[in-house]
Amino acid sequence: MADIIKLLPDHVANQIAAGEVVQRPASVVKELLENAIDAQSNSIKLIVKDGGKSLVQVVDDGMGMSTTDARLSFERHATSKIKKAEDLFNLHTKGFRGEALASIAAIAHVEMQTRSAGEEVGTRLRIEGSEVVSQEVCVTPKGTSLSVKNLFFNIPARRNFLKSNQVELRHIMDEFHRVALAHPAITFHFYNNGSELFNLPKSTYRRRIVHIFGTRANAKLVPVEEETNVIKIQGFIHKPEFAKKSRGEQFFFVNHRFIKSPYLHHAVVSAFEGLIKTDTYPGYFLYLEVDPSSIDINIHPTKTEVKFDDEHTLYAILRSTIKHSLGQFNIIPALDFDHDQNLDTPYTYKNKEAKQPQVTVDAGFNPFLDTPRKPASATRGNISARKTQGEWESMYIGLDQPMRDNSSFSSVHLESDTITGSVFEGKVEVGHSVATTFQLRRKYIVTSIKSGMVVIDQNRAHQRVLYEKLLKSTTVKQSVSQQLLFPLTLSFTKSDRAILDEIRTDLTHIGFIFETLDDESLKITGVPTLIPENEVGMVLDQLISDYRQEIIGESFSQADILSKTLARSLAVKTGEILDCDSQLALVNDLFACKESRVSPFNRPIYIMLTEQDIEKKFI
């Protein structure tokens, strides 16, 4: 039998490695930025065109490389970060595998210009698909400039899986935020299609957060700081009142490296227990420093997942540290049973002398007289007034006569469960046959049909009704907008503003009216009639979160995704009580929809129980 196992060519192996290292342009940005940081750079520039598909360029002023190092850096597993296997458990740098540049060069056009401090001229290297096209001497500043053009030019299938330029740009911005937040001592510049998006000077952690997420983020931050033999914690958490329904500004950094840790995230959420609602999430920027030998960051190609030696200890320390910060800065309401606040002297009366109050009483005042008397002044201390016998006896006149009013206790209405007002406009016309409905567990609506009964999920049914209404108003572009008497001013980060600007046209078709105030604020003067004024901010936050989590896809239009998000946010929730008219209206509106079987998110809305199904239960 002939041998069938053969070594793969280098360019094929590099493309396979690129599938692990490079998923999208944001992966290239992450690798190049980390290499620039490892080169001890003080200033880094990121230049992007067409969402990173056409160009991703990183320019730094770091150490640079010699001609030999520049050529070797594109070989597989060529690195200066480690020399032996033990070094993997004592890492102080970002990239250490030596796969990044080789993987990127296998699926793009790469050009590098680099010069070290001790040399007068630098090196220009051009590689296309793992093949070196040219290598020559050039004049370039100290540091390295690496350009990646035409990503996935030789793998069309991978390029077709890339999303739109706006979506890819958002992923690049997320990676940029993670790197910039971890290294506030480095100056960062970010340019997209020739315009500057971020100019982040060297600063502290707090100022770096404010520069990225806006000046209003400063009021949300609560400092967190703790140092033990096991871990050093510093950073900031958001005040409980700024908790959102979406997971937005949540960042963990371990030894200046961004990580994702559901276990540590649970520690943060548990520290906020009792301070935020169950369906909201707190924001945090936590920087952890541990012994490099106590963690393993080599368990995932993207190095965003790490493994700790003693997770339980880190969990307990992190949870107690956050609780301490919430209490130290008076975020948690405190109860002191030994202190009487009524005995506290107001600040404005601290240095004033006590004065005897003057009391005057009208001793002859009678509230039952038709003609009011002028109040008579009384001497100080004569507080009690004596009424005559005729005055107090007159209070009982007429009590022996029968009541003229025909009212009785049968007309008294006892207090019951609060019923949610009608969530559907108009009155339900059922016709001659009145359908019977009732609500089960405040979640389902049960109604009868000719062949049996139908059990409807009220939340999913309302989602379907709202989805088709919103989608129709968006496509027809004839929506009704409710003008606000007092406009709302909402603040957003630059990345959130980019999402709103992307879908602004569709929002206008639904009924939103925006006015731009500055880079961080929007003034909303009109909202759709379906959205209450007090829920506008929540709806927009949920909409931004859905776009950020990539619910949007190439097969769906922005109008479709927008309608789904708004329908989910505005639909009646499980636990809300609906009156009979609202139940009937929901049932009628549901079966008037084009697709009444599944919700906008492809979940079943109702189940049918025929009379035969019910009879089988009694056999």
| Local confidence band at 502 (pLDDT 50, 70, 90 cut-offs) | confident
pLDDT of 343 over the 90 cut: no
Q: How far apart are CA 173 and CA 66, in angstroms?
A: 31
| Local confidence band at 149 (pLDDT 50, 70, 90 cut-offs) | very high
Report DSSP state, residue 153. Answer: T
Q: How far apart are CA 274 and CA 250, in angstroms?
A: 19
Report DSSP state, residue 377. Answer: P
| Local confidence band at 431 (pLDDT 50, 70, 90 cut-offs) | very low
pLDDT of 393 over the 50 cut: yes
Averaged pLDDT score across all residues of the chain: 81
Single out the residue of 43, 150, 91 nearest to residue 294, CA to CA.
91
Out of 323-337, 528-542, 557-571, pick the least confident.
323-337
Q: How far apart are CA 109 and CA 59, in angstroms?
A: 17
Predicted local distance difference test score (pLDDT) of residue 247: 77
| Local confidence band at 279 (pLDDT 50, 70, 90 cut-offs) | confident
Which CATH number applies to 10-200? 3.30.565.10
What's the Cα-to-Cα distance from 619 to each of 356, 451, 599, rounded to whole Å?
87, 19, 34
Q: How far apart are CA 406 and CA 548, in angstroms?
A: 65
Greater pLDDT, 373 or 538: 538
Residue with tokens 């290292």: 21
| Strand pairing report for 43-49 and 187-192 | parallel
Q: How far apart are CA 111 and CA 433, in angstroms?
A: 77
Residue with tokens 């369906």: 279
Predicted local distance difference test score (pLDDT) of residue 4: 79
pLDDT of 55 over the 80 cut: yes
| Local confidence band at 565 (pLDDT 50, 70, 90 cut-offs) | confident
Out of 40-49, 89-98, 150-159, 194-203, pick the least confident.
89-98
Q: How far apart are CA 217 and CA 202, in angstroms?
A: 18
Contact 552, 167 (CB under 8 A): yes
Which CATH number applies to 437-608? 3.30.1370.100
| Local confidence band at 497 (pLDDT 50, 70, 90 cut-offs) | confident
CATH topology classification for 212-328: Ribosomal Protein S5; domain 2 (3.30.230)
Predicted local distance difference test score (pLDDT) of residue 553: 45
Out of 46-50, 86-90, 274-278, 534-538, pick the least confident.
86-90
H or E element that contains 104: helix 100-106
| Local confidence band at 337 (pLDDT 50, 70, 90 cut-offs) | low
Which residues in the chain are classed under CATH 3.30.565.10?
A: 10-200
Which residues in the chain are classed under CATH 3.30.230.10?
A: 212-328
Single out the residue of 555, 464, 563, 572 nearest to residue 511, CA to CA.
563
pLDDT of 423 over the 60 cut: no
Q: Report CA 469 to chain centroid distance, whole Å.
A: 26
Predicted local distance difference test score (pLDDT) of residue 501: 81
pLDDT of 408 over the 70 cut: no
pLDDT for 303-324, tens place per residue? 677 888 888 999 999 999 999 9
Paired with 135 in beta bridges are: 125
pLDDT of 137 over the 80 cut: yes
pLDDT of 288 over the 50 cut: yes
pLDDT of 378 over the 50 cut: no
H or E element that contains 172: helix 165-182
Q: How far apart are CA 459 and CA 567, in angstroms?
A: 10
Q: What is the DSSP string of 519-580?
A: SSEEEEEEEETTS-GGGHHHHHHHHHHHHHTT---TTS-HHHHHHHHHHHHHSPPTT--B-H
| Local confidence band at 555 (pLDDT 50, 70, 90 cut-offs) | very low
pLDDT of 43 over the 80 cut: yes
Q: Please state, for a pLDDT cut of 70, what percent of the chain lies above it.
A: 78
Which residues in the chain are classed under CATH 3.30.1370.100?
A: 437-608
Structure-token pair, residue 345 = 């002297």
